[in-house]
Amino acid sequence: MDRNHLTLLTDFYELTMMNGYLENGAQDTIVYFDMFFRRVPDGGGFAIMAGVEQMLDYLSSLSFSEDDIAYLRQRGIFSEAFLDYLRHFEFSCDVWAIPEGTPIFPYEPIVTVRGPAIQAQFVETMILLSINHQSLIATKANRIVRAAEGRAVMEFGSRRAQGYDGAIYGARAAYIGGCIGTACTVCDSEFGVPALGTMAHSWVQLFDNELEAFKAYARVYPNDCTLLVDTYDVLHSGIPNAIKTFDDVLAPLGCRPKGIRIDSGDITYLSKKARKMLDDAGYPDCRITASNSLDEIIIRDMILQGACVDNFGVGERLITAASDPVFGGVYKLTAVEQDGRIIPRIKISENVTKITNPCFKKVWRLFDRDSGKAIADVITMHDEIIDDAQPYQLFNPDHVWKRKTVTNFRAVPLQQEMMKCGKQVYACPPIDAVRAYCREQLETIWDEVKRFENPHQYYVDLSQALWDEKQRLLSEAYPL
């Protein structure tokens, strides 16, 4: 369970290609790779970038141990020259990425790696793993948080996560996406994501009766008393016993109850009844938390039906992104340096969506100066500058006759330099700053793009120069 040495967490073909590059003298050829994704999970209008800090941690500590080399030697297919290269391996690539918490869209490069082919190839698996997983969970969490309409959402999914790293990094990503905290204690210890929790049904069952269990808990935690009221019968036992506990234990101490939690049954109906019972007993400030296999669709319906729920604890369907559990990020070669020139490369496919955008590129986001809202993203050649003091013409790269000239806008490059010659030059902000930045950036996205169903398409356009270069490469591949 050592999560620090992950060098061999890679697809085996990365190693065979590395060996092949060395055997063919191509190991030092400078190449450019882009990571991008093709589709937003759940049919959403945008995703949220996450996992950058873990990607940088991996790249910064990348090395091959003697055990790694011994394992590769016994495979019998790698040259001794290659194994010696690994023994002295030192990562020296440049890396650019879009910062965590930024809304991102299909087909734009969210990570770019420039460096020797043998190195840039090798890091593919862990870059994809780090960004794909956390971006998936941050995106799902934000859908759930938006469905809750200002009510707090807690991540409760550790026990249903896909392994311990899925629990830890999933909780981190959920916090970036807007959850207020997690049940995963180690995520608080490692990243400062607030650890939250109340009691289990087993606590109630351990005592001779529910009232005794409630009172015992209240005596231990008088200032943080949230009682789980559905072990036996919410309305006929749980709520009455909770109220009696508040009266008999907390009130004499001058304390107020924090809340109750309902974990089963028709929570919408039960929450309405519970709210009235608590209000009538003099506890209108006692908050109601709902849990039990929730997601954004169930939460949205509960609110529409008038559920009196203040907080939501969301577990398995968040931590596994159960409704659409794949973030399909890919990592593709886009250019090669030859004699000091950057030579574009393109991947062509019968599946048009798999045709890549070539070249070393830059991503810009255009913001309307009056509303502050994002207008579109534009992918340009790396040396292009979008002058926001001048009108700029956007066009749909799939339907080029659809054009729009924008004025009074602000152009912001999205990627930031993260590593220079293998050394980290980007200071990862604290997790609370990432979460706040995410919330701020989401305010720049139009509500129509945030719809759960049939969201408005946010356009990611190509500059004229990049589009021309792509068409040139396609024409060369398919001459008339």
Query: Where in 345-454 does DSSP place strands (E)?
Result: 361-368, 374-381, 392-395, 403-406, 409-413, 416-420, 423-424
* Statement to judge: residues 303 and 354 lie in one domain: no
Q: How many residues in total does the chain contain?
A: 480
* Statement to judge: residues 273 and 367 lie in one domain: no
pLDDT band at 126 (very low <50, low <70, confident <90, very high): very high
Residue 100 inside a domain? The answer is yes
**Does the pLDDT value for residue 459 go beyond 80?**
yes
Contact of 151 with 355, CB cutoff 8 Å: no
The confidence score (pLDDT) of residue 1 equals: 43
**Does the pLDDT value for residue 377 go beyond 50?**
yes
Residue 7 inside a domain? The answer is no
CA distance 441 to 454: 21
Contact of 288 with 265, CB cutoff 8 Å: no
| Residue 112 belongs to domain spanning | 12-137+325-477
Residue 455 inside a domain? The answer is yes
Question: pLDDT, tens digit, for every residue of 257-295?
Answer: 999 999 999 999 999 999 999 999 999 999 999 999 999
CA distance 288 to 302: 13
| Overall number of domains in the chain | 2
The confidence score (pLDDT) of residue 190 equals: 94
CATH number at 455 reads 3.20.140.10
**Does the pLDDT value for residue 213 go beyond 80?**
yes
Letter string b/e over residues 294-331, b meaning 16 or more CB atoms within 10 A of that residue's CB: bbbbbbbebbeeebbbbbbbbbebbbbbeeeeebebeb
Residue 355 inside a domain? The answer is yes
DSSP string, 30-65: EEEEEEEES--GGG-S-EE---HHHHHHHHHT----
CA distance 196 to 205: 22
* Statement to judge: residues 445 and 330 lie in one domain: yes
* Statement to judge: residues 271 and 342 lie in one domain: no
* Statement to judge: residues 186 and 63 lie in one domain: no
Residue 218 inside a domain? The answer is yes
* Statement to judge: residues 202 and 84 lie in one domain: no
Query: Average of pLDDT values for 67-93?
Result: 96
Residue 5 inside a domain? The answer is no
Structure tokens at 147: 């469905």
* Statement to judge: residues 131 and 143 lie in one domain: no
**Does the pLDDT value for residue 2 go beyond 60?**
no
Pick from 286, 319, 352: which residue ends a domain? 319
CA distance 113 to 35: 9
The confidence score (pLDDT) of residue 4 equals: 65
* Statement to judge: residues 108 and 147 lie in one domain: no
* Statement to judge: residues 163 and 294 lie in one domain: yes
DSSP lists the bridge partners of residue 152 as 311
Question: pLDDT, tens digit, for every residue of 382-432?
Answer: 999 999 999 999 998 888 999 999 999 999 999 999 999 999 999 999 999
Place of tokens 């009510």: 151
Q: What percentage of the chain reaches a pLDDT higher than 90? A: 96
* Statement to judge: residues 353 and 387 lie in one domain: yes
The confidence score (pLDDT) of residue 479 equals: 79
The confidence score (pLDDT) of residue 3 equals: 53
Query: Average of pLDDT values for 433-439?
Result: 98
Query: Average of pLDDT values for 9-24?
Result: 96
* Statement to judge: residues 187 and 165 lie in one domain: yes
CATH number at 299 reads 3.20.20.70
Residue 3 inside a domain? The answer is no
Q: What percentage of the chain reaches a pLDDT higher than 70? A: 99
CA distance 372 to 406: 14
Pick from 275, 296, 319: which residue ends a domain? 319
pLDDT band at 201 (very low <50, low <70, confident <90, very high): very high
**Does the pLDDT value for residue 319 go beyond 90?**
yes
* Statement to judge: residues 116 and 156 lie in one domain: no
Residue 1 inside a domain? The answer is no
Pick from 319, 345, 371: which residue ends a domain? 319
CA distance 383 to 141: 36
* DSSP code of residue 87: H
